[in-house]
Amino acid sequence: MDKPNNWVYFFRVNILVSVLLFFPCSHVFLLLSQCERKHMPLHSLCHSFLMPERRPFVRLPTDVYPVNYGLRLKPDLIDFTFEGKLEAAVEVTQGTNQIVMNCADIDIITASFVPEGGEEINATGFNYQNEDEKVTLCFPSTLQKGSGSLKIDFVGELNDKMKGFYRSKYTTPSGEIRYAAVTQFEATDARRAFPCWDEPAIKATFDITLIVPKDRISLSNMNVVDRKPYPEDHSLVEVKFATTPIMSTYLVAFVIGEYDFVESQSSDGVTVRVYTPVGKAEQGRFALEVATKTLPFYKDYFRVPYPLPKIDLIAIADFAAGAMENWGLVTYRETALLIDPKNSCASSRQWVALVVGHELAHQWFGNLVTMEWWTHLWLNEGFASWIEYLCVDHCFPEYDIWTQFVSADYTRALDLDALDNSHPIEVDVGHPSEVDEIFDAISYSKGASVIRMLHNYIGDEDFRKGMNAYLLKFQHKNASTEDLWECLEQASGKPIAAVMNSWTKQMGFPIIVVDQEQHGSDRVLKISQKKFCASGPRNGTYENCPNWMVPISICTSEDPSCTKMKVLLDQPETTVNITNVAPDHWIKINPGTVGFYRIQYSSAMLESLLPGIRDLTLLPVDRLGLQNDLFSLARAGMISTVEVLKVMEAFVNEPNYTVWSDLSCNLGVLSSLLSHTDFHEDIQKFIRDLFTPIGMKLGWDSKTGEGHLDALLRGLVLGKLGKAGHKATLEEARRRFKEHVEGKQILPADLRSPVYLTVLKHGDSTTLDTMLKLHKQADMQEEKNRIERVLGAIPAPDLIQRVLNFALSEEVRPQDTVSVIGGVAGSSKQGRKAAWKFVKDNWEELHNRYQGGFLISRLIKLTVDGFAIDKMAAEVKSFFESHHAPAAERTVQQCCENILLNATWLKRDADHIHQYLLQRKAPPV
């Protein structure tokens, strides 16, 4: 499943330029401020601050398990209920007089068991354990070992929670409001659609029949094998689907609604369809192109064919995640699938390509071979989050997507994982309420980053060989992390398990400290590792510190793109001798920014590297990594923030979009921090000075020969200048906005976010009225979202309140309320306060809407992460002690830690930053 940013989901909104423009990355990318608490160690404070008790949990008993689910469902799209009949072929492994299954929000009418060749035994009672989402079917006599059939009649509700079997509201081309019935079962919500063994390791085949209105499209994992009139009601049809392969319940899906589609075949003969809202079939063409290129790519990469006869990709109006990889029927938010050739921006095209690549990777890695339990979720999501980039790089090399990976995933994961309230990649998961907590940047982005590091360490050929062995050995089965390591170890001959266990089983990552000496023509490096903490260095000896097995690569200025030496650092420290390095040549650790660690160079080594930023001899990804490391060291109090500002000024000649986007993020974090001071305007001037030269060079209009990355960069830079109050940018944005609204000159899609943001940031009630009118008129969800994300920029307190009220109105889709409120919180100090008050005042409604899902975590993080006052951490903690949000407990801990880190950073560095900014403004003597 695609995460939610970034965002990410979210989603993985880290890719969307408009988001980069708008939010400080502390909000969207989980980039978390790093500082030290004064009176007691921060790690002690935060762990005592908010440690939840784990709920007791027992997995389902194994005395009865399913072999095949025969499932008939009859949804009512007017009363929003459904009737269901389950006839499951089961195996009884030992005699029992009860069957325990998962069941939530479902009423069982009757249940019986028919042993093979025996008499039907009616259940005498249904004991619901609502807290654990289980039901025990009690029988008057013992069910004997052997095969049998379990029959259950049940009824349920088509809920509005965007999970289980739920209703999704849409508007027909004629303006009529109607509802589709759709599913979202990951992680533990198939039990809301039918009683089942809702654990990933309990696989079975499925025969699904849907009884639906005859004028509706009905889809499921497999192709339709029969469609006939329903005898009891001639307005309905009975649609029967082919038997699925053996699969986990969370991958089952069905959709009933009104859709158009475009269709093609991949070069290896798989039928691919993209389903869109009625009248928007052409908006599915781009995703269709990506999907038909991607399926053969994965078939070749894994050397395993796609195992189903068809794959459908469908845009769902109300959808919490970015997308979901249901086998053969992948569901998406509209903004993650639909592209309008005229009105979609470059970042949206890239986003759709990545999400399609991610979900199709799961068809093999996750669906064909499935994690044994949610502890291994990272294996699904981390792998798909890595290979989506490999796939997009294959389809669209012009995107320079691997450089973007470093800014979008790698640095985001480092920032979250530096917190004391992070968690290991592999985290024990018990109760269902804990599963949603780990759909985060550790499972996805750190998972992807360590797989990228592993791929680099093994080499592509051995990596593919090991992947092929893994998929063939475990196809249609379940596997654990250790199973993958074993296959990769056999393929490569390297100690994969030993290396990778240090990255997946313990929290955090190292900072690599490097110093050097010149010995004749040789350079001797002293390299050591210790845990990097957001709150700064901890006292302690190497003996009691965690250790990692760190693959370290080294290059020199002689050839920055070529690795001169590789070492595996498996001790606290080591010495490395590099031959034939001239005294005036620089040494760079971690070329390509592949290893998952921060680096602290000695002063002399750093000084020798910095000119490589200005003259561009360092590769873009290394310029980005160097700056990002320094920024994190500053937040952790290991160097002064002023030193980083000086380094940032060296980027004045920078041409690369991704480097600018990472700089923009970090400046957003700093701007958010300094909004708590009375010299916030001074950092805006710094931003204007830094971005003006590249803004002047790019101009407003695209030039002949420009490509995808130029469009992204222009949007980013103009938005940054406009938000910071650059006069010429503001004037031009207002002029173009006026022409756009009047219909004289429609804004190109790539300029809409920066223009909307700029006019709102410096706008009034008329501006807001105009923007809300544009929102109402917008036919594309992408355009609606574009507007929703920037509305919070409006400065006046009464207008901020209007935007917050709008967030909960019928005008905003339920999943998008979060980004409207987050937009307010990320816009200003006043917005942050107003958004937090709004969330508290409307908590019951918001929690009821998102409970048990990761959107509640997203909402909390976006709302409170930017505070920088100690007492706010106490206030947040106190609120959530009395307003429990089980799916967000870890997020609340992280936010409280983050607020304390922000507060310490501000106390430590604010005066120095202020003095530096004043000195920059002072006229030369």
Q: What are phi and psi of 498, to 5 degrees?
A: -60, -45
C-alpha dihedral (255, 258, 259, 260), degrees to nearest 10: 150
Q: Is 45 helix (H, G, I), strand (E, B) or coil?
A: helix
Nearest to 157 by CA among 131, 174, 142, 179: 179
b/e string for 172-185 if b means 16 or more Cβ within 10 A?
Answer: eeeeeeebbbbbbb
Q: Which residues pair with 427 in a beta bridge?
A: none
Cα–Cα dist 620/651, whole Å: 11
H helix count then E strand count, the chain: 31, 29
Cα–Cα dist 839/325, whole Å: 31
Q: What are phi and psi of 359, to 5 degrees?
A: -70, -35
Q: Which helix (H) or strand (E) holds 142?
A: strand 134-143
Cα–Cα dist 119/113, whole Å: 9
Q: How many CA atoms lie within 13 A of 710 on its CB side?
A: 11
Q: 186, 199, 359, 434: which one is catalytic? A: 359
Angle at which helix 285-302 crosses helix 377-395, to 10 degrees, equals 110
Answer yes or no: is 883 a known binding residue: no
Tell me if 718 sits within 8 A of 761, measured CB to CB: no
Q: What are phi and psi of 200, to 5 degrees?
A: -60, -25
Answer yes or no: is 43 a known binding residue: no
Burial bucket for residue 919 (CB in 10 Å: 0-12, 13-18, 19+): exposed
Answer yes or no: is 358 a known binding residue: yes
Cα–Cα dist 492/480, whole Å: 19
Q: How many CA atoms lie within 13 A of 148 on its CB side?
A: 25
The DSSP 8-state label assigned to residue 201 in this structure reads T
Sign, CA torsion 443/449/455/460: positive
- Residue 92 Ramachandran class (φ > 0 left, ψ -120 to 50 alpha, else beta): beta
Nearest to 36 by CA among 44, 26, 27, 48: 44
How far CA 25 is from CA of 193, 496, 791, in Å, comes to 38, 34, 18
Pairing verdict, β 565-569 and 573-578: unpaired
* Other Cβ atoms closer than 10 A to 606: 19
How far CA 208 is from CA of 84, 222, 240, in Å, comes to 11, 9, 6
Cα–Cα dist 7/634, whole Å: 25
3-state DSSP of 253-277: CEEEECCEEEEEECCCCCEEEEEEC
Q: What are phi and psi of 903, to 5 degrees?
A: -60, -40
How far CA 435 is from CA of 8, 100, 187, 504, in Å, comes to 17, 21, 7, 17
Cα–Cα dist 73/190, whole Å: 13
Listed in sequence order, the residues at least 6 apart from 752 whose beta carbon sits closer than 8 Å to its beta carbon are 345, 783, 786
Cα–Cα dist 413/415, whole Å: 5
Q: How many CA atoms lie within 13 A of 218 on its CB side?
A: 23
Q: Is 494 helix (H, G, I), strand (E, B) or coil?
A: coil
Q: Based on the residue annotation, tell me whether 359 is a catalytic residue of this protein.
A: yes
Task: Summarize the annotated binding site for Zn(2+) as residue ranges.
Answer: 358, 362, 381
Residues carrying an active site annotation: 359
Task: Summarize the annotated binding site as residue ranges.
Answer: 358, 362, 381
